[in-house]
């Protein structure tokens, strides 16, 4: 994006910010194309994660996610963090609950998680390998947390099977905290970025984003939807204002403005639903 387009975008920021605050956004139908590779195998996805020890680059969003989810945790609960990755979030959650198990199908991620566990000296936490599609826990849980788990499955049918499995692992009226990325959220964020002359947010080849419209009836069959949380304010600041300010440089995830965005979003979470990440708080029926 050149200097002239940035100047134009800056004018749009001044002209459009107030109207965006108060105007109701136009309905955005599900028109997103499938953006990941066709016929992707589960081995390709697993190999992608075996080559990594970090599950998310946007650490301020990660902390925002943890802060929100922690509101639903207490010291009486047994919790499962399925798809726990390197265990960073799990260690944080462990400080709020009676006990927590972290499971992930990447052995390298679990190795990293166990190293964190050793350093933490926590005694209410365990890590081991486990796949959401075939994991068989020996106990029921009060809460199951799954963050960016469904997006790493191959098909919509697999996503539904994972949800059914999670439902079966919960105690009566247990909570499922489902933090995912969605087609609709990406679409809305890209729409706002386009308003200010910014390109679409990069999509990950290995992700199958959830279809919020398509999955809603299935979720409602098994769960009561307690809350749907979006972080549009964080994204508006970090993925629209931030890129405009630093252009032509690339925005940095660890920039101070992203920390400020997190602090604002803790008080005012949503803005125009411009959030490619969405957290569902679901109670088992």
Interstrand relation of 170-181 and 277-284 (parallel, antiparallel or unpaired)? antiparallel
Sheet holding 223-230, edge to edge: 125-129, 99-104, 78-82, 141-147, 170-181, 277-284, 223-230
- Taking the whole predicted model, whether its pTM rises above 0.75 is answered as yes
Strands 277-284 and 99-104: unpaired
pLDDT tens-place string over residues 88-132: 999 999 999 999 999 999 999 999 999 999 999 999 999 999 999
Domain ranges of the chain: 56-284
Instruction: State how far the Cα of 72 lies from the Cα of 94, in Å rounded to an integer.
Output: 13
- The CATH code that applies to domain 56-284 is 3.40.50.150
Cα 32 to Cα 188: distance, rounded to the nearest angstrom: 10
CA atoms within 13 Å, Cβ hemisphere of 165: 20
Q: For 230-283, what is each residue's pLDDT tens digit?
A: 999 999 999 999 999 999 999 999 999 999 999 999 999 999 999 999 999 999
Q: Are strands 141-147 and 223-230 parallel, antiparallel or unpaired?
A: unpaired
């Amino acid at each position: 994006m050149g200097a002239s387009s940035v100047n134009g975008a800056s004018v749009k920021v001044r002209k459009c910010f107030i109207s965006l605050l108060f105007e109701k956004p136009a309905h955005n139908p599900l028109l997103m194309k499938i953006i990941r590779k066709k016929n992707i195998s589960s081995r390709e996805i697993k190999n992608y994660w075996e080559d990594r020890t970090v599950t998310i680059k946007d650490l301020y969003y990660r902390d925002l996610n943890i802060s929100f989810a922690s509101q639903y945790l207490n010291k009486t609960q047994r919790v499962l963090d399925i798809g726990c990755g390197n265990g960073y979030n799990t260690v944080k959650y462990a400080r709020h609950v009676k006990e927590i198990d972290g499971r992930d199908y990447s052995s390298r991620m679990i190795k990293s998680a166990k190293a964190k566990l050793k350093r933490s000296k926590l005694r209410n936490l365990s890590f081991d390998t486990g796949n959401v599609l075939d994991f068989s826990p020996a106990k029921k849980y009060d809460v199951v947390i799954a963050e960016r788990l469904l997006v790493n499955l191959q098909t919509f049918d697999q996503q539904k099977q994972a949800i059914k499995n999670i439902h079966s692992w919960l105690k009566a009226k247990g909570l499922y905290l489902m933090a995912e990325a969605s087609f609709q959220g990406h679409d809305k964020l890209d729409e706002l970025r386009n308003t200010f002359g910014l390109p679409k947010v990069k999509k990950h080849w290995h992700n199958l984003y959830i279809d919020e419209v398509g999955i809603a009836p299935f979720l409602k069959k098994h769960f009561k939807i307690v809350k749907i949380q979006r972080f549009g304010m964080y994204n508006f600041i970090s993925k629209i204002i931030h890129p405009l300010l630093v252009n032509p440089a690339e925005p940095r995830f660890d920039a101070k403005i992203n920390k400020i965005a997190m602090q604002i979003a803790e008080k005012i979470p949503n803005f125009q639903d411009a959030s490619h990440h969405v957290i569902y708080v679901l109670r088992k029926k």
